Structure 1
Amino acid sequence: MPRIVAIHEGVVPISSSMSNAFIDFSAMDCSIVAVESDVIRDGKPVVGYGFNSNGRYSAGEILRRRVIPRLMHAATEELLTTDGAFIDPAKAWILMTRNEKPGGHGERSVAVGVVDMALFDLNAKLAGLPLYRWLVQHYGLGEPDSEVFVYAAGGYYAPGKDLPQLQDEMRGFLAQGYDVVKMKIGGAPLADDIKRVEAVLEVLGGDGARLAVDANGRFDLATALEYGRALEPYGLFWYEEPGDPLDYALHATLSEQYSGPLATGENLFSLPDARNLIRYGGMRPDRDYLQFDPVLGYGLVEYFRIQEMLRAHGWSSRRCIPHGGHQFSLHIAAALRLGGNESYPGEFQPTGGFADDAVIEHSRLRLTESPGIGFEDKAELYRVFRDLH
């Protein structure tokens, strides 16, 4: 019968000089937590770790004042699974969100997601299983995927970064084993962005199906349509987040005029927002992709609910490729048989990316058997976690 004895919280910088069409990352950071149990293995307590995905800042104030105290003040029996073997993430979720009004989810969804990750890491470690195997056993999900499709996200804007440097970056991704890459658009005039797209396509042998582009919500409707007309002939892997994530009418109109795949959802942080995208955003289940982030959006507990909603609306889990680019979403992709997972080779360190010895072949990554999420296989991140407690 495990008991939570402490939850340690901190902040780690993941800043860089690069930018997308909307923000720069000069001050980007993220929250990290360590959930310590009273279970002792090899003379040390079993600890679960968590952090928030890039693109949202640390949520320490919410963690310290609301989320963590609610868990720590709970009686042990309020948190346990029926068999008493694990901390029940769904029960913990109810406690963490107690006395929170619906709507306006803001950064509280991030704070809950950070602790949610740590609880799943803890449970899998208690079972001595990699998380994806614990998930399929605990929730009866069936056979997991043994390997996951991953694409390399990059192509950011940076001071002095020219077309040859952009091409060299993409060649580096290919050398690491990625077949599909993603680049940013919307931070330069359309004519310049098209030159950037064509420069990357040159590296990819002209195969547009290996290139995704991401506008990070920059465009109004007219600009989104203008870019769509310019991009459509290239047959891209996807055209991502053209407008504000809550502007469902923009997405619906664009989907009527742009025949290629669209992708969005990484900045929708709740089941109601995800449901509104499906109801009103014109997303097409035969070609489009959904990028809801299980960490930023109230954690895996909420992501399970989103998947249930998607099934009810005729969507396959294979059309889901989460934002985040880290080990937690990799395990989720394998367990829930999603369409793949994002990857940031070398960016957003120490949290971004996979195990230090991960090998990507033809944009496929095989999962390891390390217990939990496997943070212990990512040396710099594990050092940061260990410094917490």
Structure 2
Amino acid sequence: MKIVEIREKTVPISSPIRNAYIDFSKMTLSLVAVVTDVIRDGKPVIGYGFNSNGRYGQGTLMRERFIPRILEADPASLVDDAGTNLDPHKIWNCMFTNEKPGGHGERSVAIGTIDMAVWDAVAKIEGKPLFQLLADRYGNGQADRKIFVYAAGGYYYPGQDHGKLKDEMRSYIDRGYTVVKKKIGGADLDEDLRRIDSVLSVLQDGQKLAVDANGRFNLDTAIKYAKALSQYDLFWYEEPGDPLDFELQATLRNYYKNPMATGEDLFSMQDARNLVRYGGMRADRDWLQFDCALSYGLVEYLRTLDMLREHGWSPKRCIPHGGHQMSLNIAAGLGLGGNESYPDLFQPYGGFPDGVTVDDGHIMLPELPGIGFEGKADLYREMVKLA
């Protein structure tokens, strides 16, 4: 049993939208296929993966460092002790060979993308949905296929007015979402508050709005927004300052009592631990948004979950960034609090398998082998072209 080939292709997911920090006009991602010599139904088992939006494709790092390390390793060193499947932890260790600790920005994305494809292959070889494999190996064997999802949108874009913003949010509510998210910080505070009022005007009882500053604010601006946002019952106030400015985050709790969220731009267990230690995050109300596809993959995410438990945090306080099926499987298999969703953006890489609908803010994951990419026709067409 071995990996015979790993392919990577950098693909565009460009869009005219922007948040408070970047625009997406040149955005790309890496699509990866891990081809094995295991045959199922007359075909080789192939695992697929891709990185989340907001961080660009990492093909150069993969081709120069991480893919060669896997392919040059003794195949026997990359399988489990029984010799019946690939071992994602051994493959991860192989990729990290000769890498110094720290500096997690770009290589964490490259490794995380390959790691996703490895787990897809492992679950397919075992003949299980990934969520069930995770529940069996790391949980109590009981996966919860019903997952909370929220609709992320509300970006700034040319020609957008309040009417179009309201129409966008209505479309999410009409599709079954109960929580929607919009961007802040890309306009001045008064305009952002008017945009919030516009969105709230279309929400009904039991429906909530989250806002996301994408790390734009310094401390003074973050506090000014916190005071203004306190008049609303928001689902959360997300990433007000630089993701590594733990003092800013810790100070902000003195000015904002409602839930806050951050973590999507922290790419290792160690950075996540520093947030929990020094960022003033409150385990009874705040949310953690670590995204395995950007932060060294599921192998590292398992370490992060162990660390969180040691610090008194429940996995239920984790709602990952990214809107991809990998995190949906982790949520179902390991008991996370839900997952982000991009109903209309970054397609075909976001979203759910075909036929899956949102009902009262939740979806039901179907029983598909691996991560379930084969159940999303537009995405699987792109994957087949690669492999």
**Alignment TM-score, normalising by the size of structure 1:** 0.98
Corresponding residue for 1:359? 357
Pair 1:158 & 2:157 matched: yes
Per-residue CA deviation, residues 278-302 of structure 1 (Å, 9 max, x unaligned), is 1110000000000000110000000
Pair 1:233 & 2:253 matched: no
What one-letter code is carried by the residue in structure 2 that aligns with 1:295? A
Q: How far 1:358 moved relative to its partner?
A: 1.3
Corresponding residue for 2:209? 211
Q: Is the 8 A contact 1:141 1:335 kept in 2?
A: no
Q: Distance in 2 between matches of 1:112 and 1:189?
A: 38
Corresponding residue for 1:381? 379
Corresponding residue for 2:188? 189
SS at match of 1:257: coil
- 88-97 vs 378-387, which moves further: 378-387
1:331 to 326, 329, 336: 329
Corresponding residue for 1:81? 80
Per-residue CA deviation, residues 243-283 of structure 1 (Å, 9 max, x unaligned), is 00000000000012210000000000001111110111000
Q: How far 1:206 moved relative to its partner?
A: 7.0
Per-residue CA deviation, residues 308-336 of structure 1 (Å, 9 max, x unaligned), is 11000000111000001011100001111
Corresponding residue for 1:266? 264
Q: Within 5 A, what are the aligned runs for 1:45-64? A: 45-64=44-63
- Identity among equivalent positions (%) equals 60
Question: Structure 1 pair 171/298, CA: closer, same or farther in 2 (3 Å)?
Answer: same
Q: Is the 8 A contact 1:29 1:57 kept in 2?
A: yes
Q: How far 1:150 moved relative to its partner?
A: 0.2
What one-letter code is carried by the residue in structure 2 that aligns with 1:248? F
Q: Within 5 A, what are the aligned runs for 1:242-281? A: 242-281=240-279
Corresponding residue for 2:119? 120
Q: Is the 8 A contact 1:185 1:214 kept in 2?
A: yes
Q: Distance in 1 between matches of 2:282 and 2:248?
A: 14
Q: Distance in 2 between matches of 1:42 and 1:80?
A: 21
Q: Distance in 2 between matches of 1:56 and 1:357?
A: 29
* Unpaired segments ≥5 residues, structure 1: none
* Unpaired segments ≥5 residues, structure 2: none
Q: How far 1:84 moved relative to its partner?
A: 1.3
Aligned length: 387
What one-letter code is carried by the residue in structure 1 that aligns with 2:386? L
Q: How far 1:140 moved relative to its partner?
A: 4.3
Q: Distance in 2 between matches of 1:107 and 1:39?
A: 31
What one-letter code is carried by the residue in structure 2 that aligns with 1:73? E
Q: Distance in 2 between matches of 1:174 and 1:106?
A: 35
Per-residue CA deviation, residues 346-370 of structure 1 (Å, 9 max, x unaligned), is 2011211111221110110001011
Corresponding residue for 1:299? 297
**RMSD of equivalent CA atoms:** 1.0
Structure 1 stretches of at least 4 aligned residues deviating more than 6 Å after TM superposition: none
Q: Distance in 2 between matches of 1:364 and 1:175?
A: 13
Pair 1:99 & 2:98 matched: yes
Corresponding residue for 2:344? 346
Q: Is the 8 A contact 1:33 1:51 kept in 2?
A: yes
Corresponding residue for 2:311? 313
Q: How far 1:142 moved relative to its partner?
A: 3.4
What one-letter code is carried by the residue in structure 2 that aligns with 1:183? K
SS at match of 2:201: helix
Q: Is the 8 A contact 1:356 1:379 kept in 2?
A: yes
Q: Is the 8 A contact 1:13 1:28 kept in 2?
A: yes
Corresponding residue for 2:219? 221
What one-letter code is carried by the residue in structure 2 that aligns with 1:52? N
- 243-252 vs 350-359, which moves further: 350-359
What one-letter code is carried by the residue in structure 1 that aligns with 2:157? A
Per-residue CA deviation, residues 221-255 of structure 1 (Å, 9 max, x unaligned), is 00000000000110110000000000000000001
Per-residue CA deviation, residues 5-36 of structure 1 (Å, 9 max, x unaligned), is 11111111111000000000001010011001
Q: Distance in 2 between matches of 1:323 and 1:106?
A: 16
SS at match of 1:387: helix
Q: Is the 8 A contact 1:135 1:141 kept in 2?
A: no
Q: Is the 8 A contact 1:141 1:336 kept in 2?
A: no
SS at match of 1:233: coil
Q: How far 1:43 moved relative to its partner?
A: 2.3
Corresponding residue for 1:147? 146
Per-residue CA deviation, residues 23-75 of structure 1 (Å, 9 max, x unaligned), is 00001010011001111222211100000011100001100000100000111
